[in-house]
Structure 1
């Protein structure tokens, strides 16, 4: 576990460069003198006061409610009128509620949003490294998942660990995992899910590059990585049935499903219905094995969506999601150096804004309502697997719980859910099943 935790902060990965965060952020800072865009697009208002007063916030919250009701009832024209009214009342670089409002209701004609997105896209690789190291959302999810996987592997009778990853993306989760597995004498195999018409958006990584980097990193750290496959969901289901029929007595299978984490937004978002299909296949594969021959890991950056209260109506869902991303932006602002404010704005623009300005929230709500009705809060999975106290304590240290407003909480009947919170509001939820 100690090796895994230390490697989460290592800057020695071959092809996984992580130089000092401040140095990276300097590359993200605007040079206003070289831009034609007026400086007020990246500075606060002249009064220096970016906080809304109580009456303004109250008006905006009422407009939020009217907006969500217009969507639910199909009043497209009214929706646009309300969005325009909301935009007129906020400062796009104000406090967290104003920024989340700006990103949710921005229009194609908004030059500030276009300018910030253009700046972000020019620095995406540097921004990704800075974002991943500066904020705990992705590292918490990856460390907690990897630690649970390592603890789950039986001490005897396993020759190969097969990781089936719902969304491998840039592969950043697996570099420290490879290091931790390097001295165990167990071979590793990865299968990454490939979706039809899959393509990357504003990201320097692709699947072949990810494979190359992981193979090279495994070679460097001494891990035995024998194979990385890609297959679509249909082929995966067929393959899992074939493997189960043949038997996999010496193989430990890990189903890893990370969805809606902020750093994942640079590529096409996987819908949760697709994730449910993946998890159903995992459940079918592991069913009837005695003893169990694997583990299911779920990491969700919008896990608050799936509950009876949130799914009951779109207005509750809409406001809950707005509140969630307001808290994400607030946590970024409060934990990042003020002198690097412009770098933070770029990272907000690149990794958080696309989740907020998505036009699919109504579809997300209908989808989550169906999932809730069919599976309940536990995804319809099998037996919960308890987190170890070592994993919990290490996660608390990773997010610097003693010196920040981040907190790690354990939930679930079997203590199988670990939640990263900011001021008591959930940001990321990890759960383990077997």
Structure 2
């Protein structure tokens, strides 16, 4: 089977994003054109160095060196100050120890101790520092009045930042490509109608490549239906497009691919009703459930309980079709950006997720040149900070327990990822030429994992 190429619709390359970075110390710099699908707003952001204390600025780098090879011009305007040996040791060791202590205090629900530790960590936080210092900065953002201003400035450029983040970094493109490939491989040759239920459609960037591939490879497909589940349970960054605009763009793309597309939206209760109506659907109809949760580009958090509820509905719907004799006419794809595992408790879960966030920050730092540091910080504020800061919140203990577990066991057959899918995923992340690598895990190797150095960042699994 001819495999689907990685997503290429509605995203532009880095030099087409049209970022115009305003650095209040060193003046402005810009690059690229503004000829992309959207008209990106100018990226204007306050110089983050003004948000660091003297101690933080002094210690931000020789102790924990950055991957940036070039020198920040603004630093030449100030005398160089080197940290003392004891200061370097302090920043090497104290941040990890304080973070571990914070996780243990959160696990024991010792609110006072958590507040004391966060105040101590705040002294070491800096948005222009090392990955550890930036991690701490985003973790304690709720205690930092200056952060709100930095976030507000970044939000003014959400559309351009989203497009740049999705195109530059492989997290979302990897997850969408692997999930789409699994859906495409599960489509029966005689299928005429493809029904897709999407847990969090957002900007809709996952579906154009699949629509185009279905139009090219499955000429018998007459209609594609996409149902987006509407859940108002997150209070972080919303989609930069509303549902109607996303729907319009998807339908226009489907029309150009020669495919009839219907896009709808339901809440969780409405989804149950829709699935009950589909019990007697025909043999030439294929049903796919897609759930993406906690991926970095999403910039928002969905309740773990809603994820579990969605996957339960998906399992029951696919299982019922199988019981009625429609074997292999359904598939579930699950992209997990929190890379859950079997942790001993919330403390170990907290520590592991901070390690993942640190890896994200390091990978972003390695792919953005130093003269675009302000653009990188803006993207970190929008797409990394919401997840990191959510870890500092005291959640319902039951919610915590679920987040520390493996994804719910899906009582269906594991859908083995094909060698072609794994090979193309490796090509997408430039394995061998970058610090990213791809692995396979799970029952019958039904999981593909994106890792940065030794840290898993995204897992995508599938069942049928």
Q: Fold-level match, TM-score > 0.5?
A: yes
Give the whole-Å Cα distance in 1 for the aligned partners of 2:164 and 2:45: 26
| 2:204 aligned counterpart, secondary structure | coil
Asked if 1:224 corresponds to 2:260, the answer is yes
Relative to structure 1, the CA distance from residue 134 to residue 389 in structure 2 (aligned partners, 3 Å threshold; closer, same or farther) is same
Contact 1:314 / 1:362 at 8 angstroms: preserved in 2?
no
Give the whole-Å Cα distance in 2 for the aligned partners of 1:433 and 1:91: 43
What corresponds to 2:272 in structure 1? 237
The two structures have a TM-score, normalised by structure 1, of 0.88
* Superposition map of 1:66-145 within 5 A: 66-111=101-146, 113-145=147-179
Give the whole-Å Cα distance in 2 for the aligned partners of 1:24 and 1:175: 20
Contact 1:72 / 1:362 at 8 angstroms: preserved in 2?
no
Give the whole-Å Cα distance in 2 for the aligned partners of 1:350 and 1:371: 22
* Superposition map of 1:169-208 within 5 A: 169-183=202-216, 184-185=218-219, 186=221, 187-196=223-232, 201-208=237-244
Give the whole-Å Cα distance in 1 for the aligned partners of 2:347 and 2:162: 33
Relative to structure 1, the CA distance from residue 168 to residue 177 in structure 2 (aligned partners, 3 Å threshold; closer, same or farther) is same
Contact 2:234 / 2:302 at 8 angstroms: preserved in 1?
no
What corresponds to 1:346 in structure 2? 378
Contact 1:257 / 1:299 at 8 angstroms: preserved in 2?
yes
Contact 1:253 / 1:293 at 8 angstroms: preserved in 2?
yes
* Superposition map of 1:18-417 within 5 A: 18-24=11-17, 26-30=19-23, 32=25, 33=27, 40-41=49-50, 45=57, 49=61, 51-52=63-64, 53-111=88-146, 113-156=147-190, 158-183=191-216, 184-185=218-219, 186=221, 187-196=223-232, 201-225=237-261, 227-244=262-279, 246-265=280-299, 267=300, 269-287=301-319, 288-290=323-325, 291-303=327-339, 305=340, 307-308=341-342, 310=343, 312-358=344-390, 362-363=394-395, 366-367=398-399, 369-370=401-402, 379-417=409-447
What corresponds to 1:430 in structure 2? 460
The two structures have a TM-score, normalised by structure 2, of 0.82
Q: How many residues align?
A: 415
Quote the offset at 1:214 in angstroms: 0.7
Relative to structure 1, the CA distance from residue 394 to residue 259 in structure 2 (aligned partners, 3 Å threshold; closer, same or farther) is same
Contact 1:28 / 1:127 at 8 angstroms: preserved in 2?
no
Relative to structure 1, the CA distance from residue 293 to residue 38 in structure 2 (aligned partners, 3 Å threshold; closer, same or farther) is closer
| 1:4 aligned counterpart, secondary structure | coil
Contact 2:336 / 2:459 at 8 angstroms: preserved in 1?
yes
Q: Deviations over 1:59-106 (max 9, x none)?
A: 222222322233233332322121111111343321111111111023
Relative to structure 1, the CA distance from residue 322 to residue 38 in structure 2 (aligned partners, 3 Å threshold; closer, same or farther) is closer
Q: Deviations over 1:219-278 (max 9, x none)?
A: 1222221x111111112112212211x23312100000000001111x5x2212111111
Higher helix fraction (1 or 2): 1
Contact 2:45 / 2:378 at 8 angstroms: preserved in 1?
no
| 1:318 aligned counterpart, secondary structure | helix
Q: Which moved more, 1:313-322 or 1:137-146?
A: 313-322
Q: Deviations over 1:112-160 (max 9, x none)?
A: x23321221111101111000000000000011111111111112x110
Relative to structure 1, the CA distance from residue 36 to residue 346 in structure 2 (aligned partners, 3 Å threshold; closer, same or farther) is closer
Give the whole-Å Cα distance in 2 for the aligned partners of 1:168 and 1:36: 29
Contact 2:287 / 2:329 at 8 angstroms: preserved in 1?
yes
Once superposed, what is the RMSD of the aligned Cα atoms? 2.6
Give the whole-Å Cα distance in 1 for the aligned partners of 2:404 and 2:345: 12
| 2:432 aligned counterpart, secondary structure | helix
Quote the offset at 1:166 in angstroms: 0.5
Give the whole-Å Cα distance in 2 for the aligned partners of 1:429 and 1:37: 35
Relative to structure 1, the CA distance from residue 339 to residue 23 in structure 2 (aligned partners, 3 Å threshold; closer, same or farther) is farther
Relative to structure 1, the CA distance from residue 392 to residue 160 in structure 2 (aligned partners, 3 Å threshold; closer, same or farther) is same
Give the whole-Å Cα distance in 2 for the aligned partners of 1:103 and 1:275: 25
Q: Gaps spanning 5+ residues in structure 2: where?
A: 29-43, 65-87
| 2:61 aligned counterpart, secondary structure | coil
Contact 1:25 / 1:127 at 8 angstroms: preserved in 2?
no
